[in-house]
Amino acid sequence: MSPIRSDDSDVYEYLKDITERFHVFEDLKLAALYTDYSEGTFQSPDEIIKRDIAYNFLKLAKGRLRTIEAIEKITVGKIKDADIETIKAFGKKLGLINENL
């Protein structure tokens, strides 16, 4: 949600952040599904992924699903064909884009 920068560094920072998070989330997902080997010992998923972490991942997944459902409902699955003004209008309707943009 940083201001847009003319040098596109905001985009690159966002992509770098997402990429780094992806690896962390992927590692946690795998640790939740399979026995893991860490610090010289084998650990079962319930030793790594505690109840609060599982609960937070569930909340995150539900939030993502609600966002996707809202976008699909508003765009009727046609976002890929929309022009930039239509996309901005959808974003404003969802409350994802500031009215000043």
Query: Is residue 43 domain-shared with residue 55, that is, in the same domain?
Result: no
pTM: 0.45
Query: Is residue 24 domain-shared with residue 44, that is, in the same domain?
Result: yes
pLDDT in tens, the chain (101 residues): 556 666 777 777 777 777 777 778 788 888 888 988 888 899 998 888 888 988 888 888 888 888 878 777 776 666 566 677 776 776 677 666 665 54
DSSP state of 32: H
Tokens 């209008």 appear where?
Answer: 89
Contacts of 71 (CB under 8 A, 6+ apart): 79, 90, 94
Contacts of 11 (CB under 8 A, 6+ apart): none
Q: Take residue 70 and report the two structure tokens written for it.
A: 């809202």
Structural domain range at position 72 = 51-101
